[in-house]
């Protein structure tokens, strides 16, 4: 138990230093000084700085995996939108409570360490896969339109990353109100029904023009 507590202590202090100085400007000496341990003690728990950083990433993946729960259809289960709302609330509550980790992930400078860059990308790929899984299930449940769910999952992830980056710099955040904004944007975008009707009508008209042009070049049969 003491070993686990000491290891958790090192991770906690390293997380704060990474967030303040960035991954590449942080070294093992910074971490052991902040955690008040000997260099040899550090190497009992971690091979190097990268090993420690990768464990922090894995912590985030595990936490988010638990918070992004699979939608449960059927009688007796909450409404699908309420389940999405609960997922968003759990995710945002976690990332805003873990601002140091959020800073590390969003402000990590790529291009210095290809292996670490791959780890960061793998992290985002795994989160996108969780979102894609929810979208695919939504299509099966006839709640989500047919779409390229892989592309849409990265679009959603990119938007959430930007929102989280903005929120990490703000102390007072109304999570419930933010969840509603993200949910409404995800479900209906920002267009009013009138605009959607106009776009749909233009699309139908364009399709009709294409069909007419195609028929013009078709050979005439006697």
User: Where along the chain do its domains lie?
Assistant: 49-190, 192-222
Would you give the DSSP letter of residue 36?
T
Would you give the DSSP letter of residue 73?
-
Residue 201 neighbours by CB under 8 Å, 6+ apart: none
Query: pTM for this one?
Result: 0.68
* Fold type of domain 49-190: Tetracycline Repressor; domain 2 (1.10.357)
Q: Give the model confidence (pLDDT) of 62-74 as tens digits.
A: 887 788 887 777 7
- Provide the mean pLDDT of the chain: 79
**Closest-CA residue to 108 (of 45, 161, 159, 174):** 161
Q: Give the model confidence (pLDDT) of 21-35 as tens digits.
A: 878 888 999 999 998
Contact 49, 26 (CB under 8 A): yes
Is residue 159 scored above 90 in pLDDT? no
Percent above pLDDT 70 for the chain: 83
Across 155-179, average pLDDT: 82
Q: Give the model confidence (pLDDT) of 134-149 as tens digits.
A: 788 878 877 788 889 9
Using CA atoms, how far apart are residues 152 and 49, in angstroms rounded to an integer?
A: 34
Contact 92, 176 (CB under 8 A): no
């Amino acid at each position: 138990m003491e070993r686990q507590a000491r290891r958790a202590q090192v991770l906690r202090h390293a997380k704060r230093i990474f967030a303040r100085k960035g991954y590449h400007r942080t070294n093992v000496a910074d971490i052991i000084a902040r955690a008040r341990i000997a260099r040899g003690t550090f190497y009992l728990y971690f091979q190097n700085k990268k090993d420690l950083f990768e464990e922090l990433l894995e912590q985030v993946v595990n936490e988010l995996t638990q918070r992004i729960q699979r939608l449960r259809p059927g009688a007796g289960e909450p409404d699908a939108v309420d389940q999405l709302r609960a997922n968003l609330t759990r995710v945002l509550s976690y990332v805003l409570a873990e601002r140091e980790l959020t800073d590390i992930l969003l402000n990590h400078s790529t291009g210095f360490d290809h292996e670490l860059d791959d780890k960061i990308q793998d992290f985002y790929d795994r989160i996108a896969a969780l979102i894609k899984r929810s979208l695919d299930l939504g299509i099966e449940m006839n709640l989500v339109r047919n779409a390229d769910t892989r592309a849409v999952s990265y679009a959603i992830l990119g938007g959430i990353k930007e929102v989280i980056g903005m929120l990490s710099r703000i102390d007072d955040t109304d999570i419930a109100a933010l969840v509603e904004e993200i949910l409404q944007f995800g479900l209906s975008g920002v267009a009013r029904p009138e605009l959607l009707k106009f776009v749909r009508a233009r699309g139908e008209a364009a399709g009709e023009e294409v069909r007419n042009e195609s028929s013009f070049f078709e050979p005439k049969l006697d």
